[in-house]
Each structure stands twice: as C-alpha cells, then as structure tokens.
Structure 1
C-alpha cells in the first residue's frame, strides 16, 4: 500500500561492480520538493577480503537458481543488515533507529545478461528487513528485464528528479554511464564504457587499490594499435538502450589487454584511460550537450577528466558527498518512489515496454 507521506528518511545501499565496498547514504526527502533533499549521513564500508572474494567468485557460479547463489543471496542480505545496524549505531545522534522509514538496497550484481532475460542481484531484502526491523525495498532490476528492458541504468530517474539543472549526468564507476534529456524531452541513458572495473584490475598489479588521480596512467605510454582495437569493439556502435556487465570485461576487454605482452602495466593503464576518454567524449558529442555533471569514483581521476575535458566539455565535479554517494542517494529515492506507488524505471532509458514501478517490498 502506498504510504502517502509528506516526508521520508530513507537509507540507500549501493554495491558497485568495482567491489570497493558498500555505500550507505541516508537521505531526507520532501515529496513536494524532491530536489531539496538532505543527506543526513553517508559513508562507504569497505569489504573484508573474504566478502570481496566471495562476491567476485559468484560470477563463476552456474545460473541464478544454483544453491551457491541462493546461499550467497541470503548470507549477503544478512551481511547488509548488519552493516545497516552498525551504520545507524555509529550515527545514532543524527539517525536514531526509529527515524529511518525505509531501506532501499541495490544489492550486488553477479549476473547481467539482459539479452538472455537474466539479471541477478544478490542481497535478500527479506533478510535485510528481518535483521534491521526496517521496511526494505530490493531487487529493482528484474522486473524491468521481464518487461523487455535492459534493467539498467536505473539512476537516470534521479538525474531527472534531483539533478535536472545539468545538461548531462555522467557517472564514472566500475562502468561509465550517462543520462540526458533529448530534444523531445525524454530522458535517455545508457552505459558507455568500462572504467574502474578495468583500471582497478591493473592498478592491483602494481599493489594499489586504484590508480589514484590517474598517476600511473599518466606515466605510461598509450599504445596506438591496442587503442584502435579497443575503440573498434562492436558494443560502441550499438544504438538504443544498452548496458554492460562484468561479463563484457572478462570475456572481451581483459583478453584484449592481456594479449599485449610487451606493454608495462602503466602502458595498459594509459591506453585504457585514453580509450575510456575517447568513448566518453565521442558519446558526449553525440548528445549535443556541453555541460556535464561528473560523479562516481572516477571523478577523482584527474588524468581521465583532463582527457575528457580536452574535447571542449564544461565538466562540473560537485561536492564530495554527491561525487561518492550519488548512486546510493538515488537508490534511496527509488525506494521512496516504490512505496509511494510512483514509477521509478523509465522505458526511454531501459527499453522496457513501459514506465513502471519496480522493487520488491518487505515489511
């Protein structure tokens, strides 16, 4: 049943493909003016190595119905519930347990093949609700895939309702995606290119969690032939709603990079950073827009941002809370829209048969 409240305090949970950790963002929304949201508390809880390994290995599990995936789904939901308890306890002065109306959890994507009608995010919403005692919304993507959509990206509804003052919203996470309003007034969005999924993989070969500010890429030398091969991948010529998953990186990108045996790690980082900048710039040019809001961990990669800005775009990097927690913030919004019975998935973005209200509700 829709709540029909004037105000919600919602805790958004987001785990991205780069496996940095879980972003938790607690937000106060006024339904009459969603754009005037207030971030009450936000932080990232890094994964213990055991959880990082378990989530990464889940990609190799056979099918969404396997016992391994089902066990992970429940255990990860309980883990997320524990994180919520800890987060609320640590922020007790600002966020007493009774004040949080709702949890909205993205879960962690272990399979994403919308072309096969499959998308799997682990993190059982019923388990989160049971551990926390707080109404929980989860599994936002599956319904969209069943309606013929890509199940991603879902963040553009937030771009539309919370950040409509920017011509283009570009998120640089494990995978880069962008959204904008076309000349007809419809919100358009799609995945553009892998970013941190690949850069973090190669930074790890240098003993680093990530390539801070793109410093290692800056010292490397771009390989023209590898760059041409990357830019020639079929995905970049696809039109219409499209999305990327870890599968694309493992099956297509990493083998291509690994075949270049004579390159140093820094050279690979340089070449892939240039590739990401090329694809982002190429896509931005097609939008016909010039003012770009950049969020996600890649917004701190100054070398990548410099390479994109060279194409003449006006790049805006907002305050840190928005840079780091925009996706968790918007999933909090998706949860509010779900309990209010309002559409939170846009067909113009995902390619689904219609706009719809998605997410499984546990209370």
Structure 2
C-alpha cells in the first residue's frame, strides 16, 4: 500500500479558557497511522477575549455572532504568525473552536471561531464544527478524541486525560468506548487557589494532608459512580453535587486535597481493573493531571503496581487534544469516519466537520 502524508495544524481552545493550543502535526498512513508533533505553542488569550469567551453563553445573539467572527480572525492571525515564524506550510487548519452551548438532547452544540474568518486570516483551508453532524445523528457529539486514541495509539490499553474532568477511552468487546471517570482539576484547583497557587504543584499539598475516611466514603457513594457505560460530568455537577459534599466536611484544605486525590485514584483504578484483559495493561496519561505525581503514586498503590505507564513526552501530555483535532481533520479530508457511534451513541459512525476554502 502506498503512503499518504499530511501536514496540518490542530487548534484546541480548552474549556478552562486560558489560551489556544496550536499543534503543527504530520500524519502518515502506511499499514497503520503514524504521527509526529513538529511544532507546538500555546497562545494565551488577551484578557478581554478570555473574559468574552468565558461569558459567551450570556451574550445576546448579535454579540455572539460578532464574537464568533472576531475569534475566528484572532485564531487565523495567530496561525499565520505561527506559520511565518516556524517557516511552515500546512494542508489545513483543523479547529475545535470554543464551546458556548452543548445540549445534545435539544439537537444543539455550538463551537464559535468562524470558519470563513479563520480561512481568510490564515490563508489556509479550514475544517471546524466537528460535533454537529453526530448530534444530528442522535449522538452526544462527544467525546471525539477516542477515534484518535484507537488509530494513533493502538498499542495503548487505556488512554486517560486528566483535565478539569478525568476521562478514559479503551477497546471493549471489539469496539471503542469512552466516558468520564471522575472530576479532576475542577475540584482540586479551587482549593489550591485558597492556599495561594493556581494549582497544587506535583500534588505536594495533597501529600501533606490526611485522608478523611468519612469524606472519602461520601465521595465514593455519589450517584454518578453507580451508572455504567457512557456518562459525562460538567461544571454543573461540581456546583450541585461534589462541592457541597466537600464543603460540608469542614476539613482543612490539605486534608480535602488528600481525600479527593485518594477518591480519584480509587475510581480510576476500579475502571482499569474492571476493563483490563491483561495482567499488566499499558496506560497513557495526558493533560495537566499527568504532572500530579502524588495522584500517580496513589493510583499505583490502588492498582498494586500492576500496570505500565507509557512514557509520554511533555509535548504529547500538553498537546494531545490539538494533535487529535488535526487528525480528525485529516480523516474528514479523506472522507473517512472520524466520529464513533460506539462512543457517542449516534445512529451510525460519521465523518463530521465543515470545510472552508
């Protein structure tokens, strides 16, 4: 079989709302897919843009459309500067955009960052709006990353991303499945902020705390953990379910951190043990939580050291989502499936994304 080579730029604007990840990636298809992260950068949002994006769900219709265009222009300008600075060209820009509304039960998902504006400012073909087709097919429009896990990391048994929420993807009974496992930084960071830092570096404060059995049991009994199969968590769950339980405990901040981390380790270890078909599964951990060394020690303890941690580069840890959105764009250009019904529960697999230019 002949090889096919694609260089694209993947763009990811995270829900944390701190900046735009740009990943210049190369994908090559032989008997299987190969990838390389060639250049990466995170561009922080200017203060006013960051605030507008965080509050986009409160804007009126006209203001939202203006922000859609302005954000598309801003991304396009930064893609152009990135290309000039690194002296690179790319086949396309594959943009996730910034999610404003995600209500699949109403047939709605909206990511802003206008495709034509992005196309004109960057001078490159653009692919965006990756979620809407799946939603119209009755799916959740999320998560989209698991097809990338399946095709780019076939040797990995469990792909875990530890961002605001912890999620996991894996092969199970011949198909890809994925779901949210527990909260992660959405609960830890606000406590770290009270202690004077944006996050608990390496989990040092959690390490100094003491696990409280009563709070641990209450967290483990939260209804979310009783559901099996596809499930997801949002900010609303933090406010309505998790945070009140933690606040009522009346513990010191460090004891809260230690207990929450123990809770996460118990929940993740249980999933790995339930779904693993190997004595020693291989696990890839990405996202900010991959640097939480205390959590990794507690996970290792809960798994009785029966796992192999895939040694990922810092670039892969930080830019995996931007890399995979680049890959989703390549699959879209090839007219191949880039969204799995086994993951989103849509009627059928699909190849989503709107092409501009």
* TM beyond 0.5: yes
Q: What is residue 210 of structure 2 aligned with on the other side?
A: 221
- Report if aligned partners of 1:144, 1:358 keep a CA contact under 8 Å in 2: yes
Q: CA deviation at 1:355?
A: 0.4
Q: What is residue 187 of structure 1 aligned with on the other side?
A: 176
Cα displacement string for residues 86-122 of structure 1 (whole angstroms, at most 9, x for unaligned residues): 3223312xx1xxx211011111223333344333322
Task: For 1:80-91, list aligned pairs within 5 A.
Answer: 80-91=75-86
Instruction: Identify the match of residue 308 of structure 2 among 292, 304, 314.
Output: 314
- Report if aligned partners of 2:182, 2:264 keep a CA contact under 8 Å in 1: yes
Structure 2 CA distance for aligned equivalents of residues 276 and 215 of structure 1:
16
Matched, 1:136 2:130: no
Q: What is residue 52 of structure 2 aligned with on the other side?
A: 54
Q: What is residue 154 of structure 2 aligned with on the other side?
A: 164
Q: What is residue 118 of structure 1 aligned with on the other side?
A: 108
Matched, 1:244 2:233: yes
Instruction: Identify the match of residue 72 of structure 1 among 59, 67, 74.
Output: 67
Which 10-residue stretch deviates more, 190-199 or 132-141?
190-199
- Report if aligned partners of 2:80, 2:123 keep a CA contact under 8 Å in 1: no
- Give the TM-score taking structure 1 as reference length: 0.89
Matched, 1:266 2:254: yes
Cα displacement string for residues 317-338 of structure 1 (whole angstroms, at most 9, x for unaligned residues): 3112211111111110000111
Structure 1 CA distance for aligned equivalents of residues 342 and 353 of structure 2:
18
- Give the TM-score taking structure 2 as reference length: 0.90
Q: 1:280 to 1:339 in 2, by over 3 A?
A: same
* Number of residue equivalences: 350
Segments of 5+ residues of structure 2 without an aligned counterpart are none
Q: What is residue 235 of structure 1 aligned with on the other side?
A: 224
Instruction: Identify the match of residue 8 of structure 1 among 3, 6, 9.
Output: 6
Secondary structure, counterpart of 1:277 in structure 2 = helix
Q: 1:35 to 1:121 in 2, by over 3 A?
A: same
Q: 1:111 to 1:279 in 2, by over 3 A?
A: farther
Q: What is residue 326 of structure 2 aligned with on the other side?
A: 332
Structure 1 CA distance for aligned equivalents of residues 5 and 79 of structure 2:
21
Q: What is residue 176 of structure 1 aligned with on the other side?
A: 166
Which 10-residue stretch deviates more, 282-291 or 249-258?
249-258
Structure 1 CA distance for aligned equivalents of residues 245 and 111 of structure 2:
27
